[in-house]
Amino acid sequence: MNKQTNAGILGTGWYVPEGRVTNFDLENMVDTSDAWIRTRTGICERRKAAADQPVSDLALRAARMALEDANMAAEAVDLIIVATLTGDQIIPSTACRLQDALGAKHAAAFDLSAACSGFVYASATACQFIETGVYRHVLVIGAETLSKVIDWTDRNTCVLFGDGAGAALYGPVEDGLGVLAFDLGSDGAGGDALAIPAGGSLHPMTEQRLHAGDQFVHMDGKAVFRFAVRILGETVEKSLGRCGMTKEEIDHLVPHQANIRILEAAEKRLRLPREKVVVNIERYGNMSAASIPVALSEAAHAHRFRKGDTIALAGFGAGLTWASCIMKWAKEDIL
């Protein structure tokens, strides 16, 4: 690839809906307890979108914040990529709806499906367009309304997931900064471990499938946990190797917020102290594609990052998929 420029983050934003579902709320819905959920997942509460609030609304709010943070007008955006598994409709894409609502009249737009790895997959895609000079500014959003595809009587899944959106505007940055390396991967043989069985062309929605609850997320929790504990640290190591860096050079790890025990396993493998790991799972739960960009944006706006810091992003999810990247933070921190 003929790399013409470096691509990095110019601004970030996030939005979570006002509705909250606490562990104590769930105690009244399924056979569980606050202590059980906290101990096994690290989650205390999760956000829930209103019944009439589509995922594009969450994405729009996060996108506007990212553009404001970058001091960039929507008209300057060349491409919008929305990573989501809970799009507004099958067609048109949520990205196209967002492009119109945002007023990004010069932007191309498409959705990307890689579940919880989606934001890093979309970031990798954005960087290729920028580095080759095809586009200058690419807006990447991870957004989910998982509450709409969760069976609230299934305690294996309803305790885990929440709604939210995070955004990052990518563009050219100075030499030595920006995204340095990626690792993307998949193992389709494990796809049934985390899936929404019906609603696509393989199993179109029928009355029988509705009664069976096949429109909701189904998960083999043990299989996903085993996969995640192994892959999260492994993918970061691969990205580090591709840019000639070591674990010791990581200043901040922003991982997918799925389960506190998975994050602890990654900390141990990468030999990272907790203060170097961005964690917000206790407040939001697992927000799939929104998980990493919300954590990233919150940390950035809390002034945790300094220009030149080495940041690792890492996710894993349905597919099965995994993704990581290493970047040198390019945005000047203004206190």
* Active-site residue, 280 included: no
Residues in the chain: 335
Cβ contacts of residue 130 below 8 Å, gap of 6+? Answer: 5, 7, 136, 137, 138, 170, 171, 172
Structure tokens at 318: 């349905």
- Catalytic residue from among 96, 116, 127, 158: 116
> Which one of 256, 259, 280, 325 is the catalytic residue?
256
Which of the residues 6, 23, 280, 286 is marked catalytic?
286
Question: Rounded to an integer, what distance in angstroms lies between the CA atom of residue 156 and that of residue 41?
Answer: 11
286 is catalytic: yes
The whole-angstrom distance between residue 30's C-alpha and the CA centroid of its chain comes to 27
> Helix 55-70 and helix 94-102: axis angle, to 10°?
50
The β-bridge partners of 277 are 253
DSSP string, 37-84: HHHHH--SEEEE--TT--HHHHHHHHHHHHHHHHT--GGG--EEEEE-
Structure tokens at 185: 């991967």
Alpha-carbon gap, residue 121 to 85, rounded angstroms: 13
Q: Is 252 a catalytic residue?
A: no
Separation between Cα atoms, residue 190 and residue 192, nearest integer Å: 6
Give the C-alpha separation, 117 to 113, whole Å: 9
How big is the chain by its Cα radius of gyration, in Å?
19
Asked if residue 274 lies in contact with residue 333, where contact means CB atoms within 8 angstroms, the answer is no
**Two tokens, residue 141:** 């959003």
Query: What residues act catalytically?
Result: 116, 256, 286
